[in-house]
Structure 1
């Protein structure tokens, strides 16, 4: 494959990555919300409060487990975005600087 052939393919990947990292703020907000929810749930559990009426969870433990999964998912997404930012830099450099004669 030549550089001329590779550039449009790399540019397409670059465009997709730029779209993907736009969700970083959303993931960060979700993570903050989930961590706050976790604190509240742990306090309610410690205080022996009853689950709210209509709560879909059978226990605070089950609810806390779900929130922990959501926290892990957000952290994974944020870490992935960090990697995508590095890929954007590399792809952008290639598209701008790769010599057609190479």
Structure 2
């Protein structure tokens, strides 16, 4: 990941899949539900990690879609209902 000005550049690489690259202008909204200025007026930080977007809860239509899994990590890992990420290197460039 690299941020230059208002642009964020993301590259995902693995031996098992094709490389995927994204260029995102953080000063613009992505769609009509976003703020028109995106993150331009916000503080910004990035935390390296895996961000699983699924929850076993069904109470909320967006944040609780009732995905596969029990909510118990040991059980879910055994069944393959989890996500993980491994970083071989992280490089920080900044002011």
TM-score by length of structure 1 reads 0.18
Report which of the two has the higher share of helix.
1
TM-score by length of structure 2 reads 0.19
Q: Which has the higher contact order (CA 8 A, sep 6+)?
A: 1
Report which of the two has the higher share of strand.
2
- Greater Cα radius of gyration, structure 1 or 2: 1
